[in-house]
Structure 1
Amino acid sequence: MKIVSITWARNEVDILESFVRHNASIVDRMVIVLHRTKDNSSTILEMLREEGMAIDIRTEEHPLHHQTEVLTALMHDLAQNDAPDWILPLDADEFLISPENADPREKLEKLDRTTPHLLCWRTYVPTERDSPTEPDPVRRIIFRKSCEEPPFSKVLIPGTLAADDNVCLAPGNHSILRHTPEGKIPVSAMPASHLALAHFPVRSESQLRRKILQGWPSVRDLPTRQPREAYHWKQLFPRCSDPAPIGREELQKITMQYSANRDTPVDLTVDPLIRRYARIRYIQQTVPVPVGNATTSPHTRVHQLSASETRDADQYQRFILFCHPRCGSSNLCRILSQHEDIHCASEIFNVGNVNMQRYLAATLGMKPTCLENHETMLQDFFFRCHAHEKKSVIGLKILDYQVPEYLQKGWLLQPEHKVILLSRQNMLAAALSIQIAWRTGIYNIRPNEELVLRRPFRVRKEDIEHWMRSQREWLQELRSLLLEHGKPFFECTYEQLGKSTIAELCQFLGCSPLEEYENYFSKITQPHHYEYIENLSEILDAFSSEEYVSIPVTPHTKTLSSL
């Protein structure tokens, strides 16, 4: 399958790199027409092309906004000469996504290639909670409209239809039209329910003023302009011409009403875009557009981010600790949380964890009902926890059974999440420990005196073998996924945890080593913990081989030189 995107852009330097990095990982080729750009858009595109991205850069210097005519001609040319399966018109503030957090390309593969499809907008809204130090607007703006009212969509065009000279794009790429003796009529299109466009139309005051003051005059004077074409630009032109500052609250209100012809109340929801890139590499420092002079363009300096600047640009670091039961993960969380820069929480997805529910409700203001939406809750948890704890590294422990497999994979692929894998080398000890916990309700390693008199029980060899096998398979799958995508991760076992490993782990998270900390690990091997098992000798005899008491660890993942 071959997908080609076509884009008309003008002075979108603040989001252009993010736009290309995300969408270039989905489509096979991006053709971008720069319309009278006076910022450094072309420089950034050249840098991205030098990185190996399939970008075709073209220019258009006509003073009027002939986007529809230029992109229609480009669509015909590409469809007739390159024979793509799909032509995807994209604005520079649009990001192709799957609402299910699946691979958009996989969803494209399943579409009927004989009919156009409609991609609905998901409009993101700047708020007062956005980090002012984050240069990437896609990372900075994490709230979107809970519903689009009225709904808008963009068209995805089959290559065979795009090659037809009798069709053309509608203004704004909202549909495809066919020329008939009666005039232009829309071509019937199907909704692509498994795909959408994340839309970032308003990102800052300077960007909004630049967009409206430069955009509306170039559309207003078009002889072919339809009555409602770019009506939202027309509505905003007087306000953007007014030198009075546009505050964050007003900016949010403008975005909520963007392209809406009625003031319908709509809620906001936290839904950070799952980007298909790690970080932008080029910072833009833009001089604001002088108000009242629509023809004046900003001058922009571009430089590549150094490693220290990249770290400074991050609001906070995130990590996820993947582990299996009874491997010492709770103790590791306690140790890491003793660091002045690290906070590590446990089991927020465990709906039976009453203490965690109280913590979420009292401390972070999160209701247990939001557990139903794992993806949203994860992002909201990191955001709220960072705001509450005031620490620069926020972590979350996830046990293998607490979230669906597809979410585990989705989180592993997010570049902003560092990953730690913790297991117990003596898997037999972990299996016996979990059996005791399940049978007696004793989860503390050193049981209280009143619980020691609980009745002993027998364990089945089949249960032990099944548990160890499933945990091995789960850990190996996580390893394979991480190695496949080349993402740095830190793996160790409980038996390896000591001062040197904790120091390496802190370094992996970008923190200084812990000089002194309380060590909890000595409690996990207390022999009386196993006195509840009547047939302990039988189990030890059956599973005493090296195969059952050790688990392989990928050697290079714990070595910082490989990161």
Structure 2
Amino acid sequence: MRVVAISRILDEADIIEAFLRHTAAYADHHVILDNGSRDGTLEIIRALKDEGLNLTVFQNIAVSINERAFNTLMYYHAAAELQADWVLCLDADEFIDDRGVQDGLRVALDHTMREAPHRLCLALPYFDYVRGAQEIADEPIVPVRMPVRRTRANRLRKVFVRAPLDDAVISNGNHGLMLRGTWLPAQGLPGLRLAHYPHRSLYQMAAKSAKGWAKIQAAGPAEITRGTSRHYRPLFEGLRDAPQTHLLDARPAPARDDPRLVADPITYRGGPLRYTADTDERMRAIRGMMGYLDDLTARYGRLIETCPEARAMNDAWNRDVTRLM
């Protein structure tokens, strides 16, 4: 049995090394598609590849959302080029947690493949781990630093998918599998889940939300209407309209006795870190947002330079004057 992980990434320097080392304990190979990282993420990945981790890295600098196409492209690369039997669809802030699986993930996947060949994908619940409550200051390994999770799983699930499958499509966010135009129901595997670390610092979350919602807006009004990644919108608009509220005011840490939280550290399987620097999160956030702004404006300039209709529309917008007072 051959297991391959696939991941899209963008500016994940604080977590990427721990994520790749941990996932390597479960997967034979990891396919990565970088969307234009500027914060040192690629340098860390290059060092890990030089060290011997089995990594394939692509890059597509997308200034608008195109997750489904990227996820599906990586799936077919894993299936066709790497002969995957299972493809683990993971974001860089999601860590496999198989403590509740007898004999571990790989044995369970092998058993499922042999004993239930009709099960083409598994749906994993994922739990958000939070900052503040019992957080271990100065610990560079994020899953070790943040041992407290929320008691309820997220409403959506993430999928691990059998391979090879013809006409398969992996959804935005890795939340589902479409096969020949139909979304497949997916069952879970008892005890298997993901630990999710989306909010690791105020500045990391601010930059993530700013880039995330900007990509939705750059994709056009239809994407906004569909509700794609709408969870980024409130923080994006808050940063736009009142950044001091989100970046200067200290947020209270969750109470230790909050019934919605439980100390439940995962078993981190990646070993020590070698390449993750102690980075100023404010400067890392600025680098990431400026990198995205650079890519976005460069694409915009090329568009109006090469498309007369876009040039005419841009000129019309630039001439538009509205009296405010």
TM-score computed with the length of structure 1 as normaliser: 0.46
- For residue 117 of structure 1, what is the amino acid of its counterpart? L
- For residue 24 of structure 2, what is the amino acid of its counterpart? A
**2:110 alignment partner in structure 1:** 109
Cα distance in 2 between the residues matched to 1:64 and 1:75:
21
Cα distance in 1 between the residues matched to 2:121 and 2:259:
29
Alignment of 1:6-85 (within 5 A): 6-85=6-85
Alignment of 1:163-178 (within 5 A): 164=166, 166-178=167-179
Cα distance in 2 between the residues matched to 1:266 and 1:153:
23
- From the superposition, tell whether residues 246 and 237 of structure 1 become closer, same or farther in structure 2 (CA, over 3 Å): farther
**1:272 alignment partner in structure 2:** 265
Q: Please give the secondary structure, in 2, of the residue aligned with 1:276.
A: coil
Alpha-carbon offset, residue 266 of structure 1: 6.2
Alpha-carbon offset, residue 213 of structure 1: 1.2
Contact 1:119–1:195 (Cα < 8 Å) also in 2: yes
**1:285 alignment partner in structure 2:** 279
**1:122 alignment partner in structure 2:** 127
Q: Please give the secondary structure, in 2, of the residue aligned with 1:194.
A: coil
Cα distance in 1 between the residues matched to 2:249 and 2:86:
40
**1:249 alignment partner in structure 2:** 252
Cα distance in 1 between the residues matched to 2:204 and 2:117:
37
- For residue 100 of structure 1, what is the amino acid of its counterpart? G
Alpha-carbon offset, residue 209 of structure 1: 1.0
2:179 maps to 1:186: no
- From the superposition, tell whether residues 138 and 246 of structure 1 become closer, same or farther in structure 2 (CA, over 3 Å): farther
Cα deviation code 1:63-122 (max 9, x no counterpart): 222221122122123313332111111100011121426532222222234421101102
**1:154 alignment partner in structure 2:** 158
Contact 2:39–2:288 (Cα < 8 Å) also in 1: no
**2:322 alignment partner in structure 1:** none
Contact 1:243–1:291 (Cα < 8 Å) also in 2: no
Cα deviation code 1:365-413 (max 9, x no counterpart): xxxxxxxxxxxxxxxxxxxxxxxxxxxxxxxxxxxxxxxxxxxxxxxxx
- From the superposition, tell whether residues 203 and 193 of structure 1 become closer, same or farther in structure 2 (CA, over 3 Å): same
- From the superposition, tell whether residues 96 and 63 of structure 1 become closer, same or farther in structure 2 (CA, over 3 Å): same
2:230 maps to 1:231: yes
Q: Please give the secondary structure, in 1, of the residue aligned with 2:192.
A: strand
2:135 maps to 1:135: no
Cα deviation code 1:39-78 (max 9, x no counterpart): 1111101111122110111111132222211221221233
Q: Please give the secondary structure, in 2, of the residue aligned with 1:201.
A: coil
Gapped regions of structure 2 (runs ≥ 5): 293-325
Contact 2:143–2:266 (Cα < 8 Å) also in 1: yes
TM-score computed with the length of structure 2 as normaliser: 0.78
Cα distance in 2 between the residues matched to 1:117 and 1:287:
35
Q: Please give the secondary structure, in 2, of the residue aligned with 1:285.
A: coil
Query: What is the count of residue pairs matched by the alignment?
Result: 278
Which of 216, 221, 226 pairs up with 1:219? 216
Cα distance in 1 between the residues matched to 2:147 and 2:281:
25
Cα distance in 2 between the residues matched to 1:49 and 1:293:
24
Which of 286, 293, 296 pairs up with 2:290? 296
Gapped regions of structure 1 (runs ≥ 5): 254-264, 299-563
Alpha-carbon offset, residue 281 of structure 1: 1.8
Cα distance in 1 between the residues matched to 2:52 and 2:85:
22
Contact 1:4–1:31 (Cα < 8 Å) also in 2: yes
Cα deviation code 1:144-187 (max 9, x no counterpart): 01122x532101110032xx1x221111110011344xxxx311
Contact 1:144–1:268 (Cα < 8 Å) also in 2: yes
Cα distance in 2 between the residues matched to 1:216 and 1:284:
28
Cα distance in 1 between the residues matched to 2:284 and 2:81:
43
Alignment of 1:137-536 (within 5 A): 137-148=142-153, 150-161=154-165, 164=166, 166-180=167-181, 185-223=182-220, 225=223, 227-241=226-240, 242-244=243-245, 245=248, 247-249=250-252, 267-282=260-275, 283-288=277-282, 295-297=289-291
Greater radius of gyration (CA):
1
Contact 1:121–1:196 (Cα < 8 Å) also in 2: yes
Contact 1:240–1:291 (Cα < 8 Å) also in 2: no
Query: How many percent of aligned residue pairs carry the same amino acid?
Result: 24
Contact 1:210–1:289 (Cα < 8 Å) also in 2: no
Cα distance in 1 between the residues matched to 2:54 and 2:236:
36
Q: Please give the secondary structure, in 2, of the residue aligned with 1:26.
A: coil
Contact 2:39–2:287 (Cα < 8 Å) also in 1: no
- From the superposition, tell whether residues 206 and 105 of structure 1 become closer, same or farther in structure 2 (CA, over 3 Å): same
- For residue 261 of structure 2, what is the amino acid of its counterpart? L
Cα distance in 2 between the residues matched to 1:287 and 1:199:
19
Contact 1:120–1:154 (Cα < 8 Å) also in 2: yes
Contact 1:128–1:249 (Cα < 8 Å) also in 2: no
Cα distance in 2 between the residues matched to 1:2 and 1:89:
14
Contact 2:37–2:288 (Cα < 8 Å) also in 1: no
Cα distance in 1 between the residues matched to 2:203 and 2:117:
41
Contact 2:19–2:93 (Cα < 8 Å) also in 1: yes
Q: Please give the secondary structure, in 2, of the residue aligned with 1:82.
A: coil
- From the superposition, tell whether residues 70 and 143 of structure 1 become closer, same or farther in structure 2 (CA, over 3 Å): same
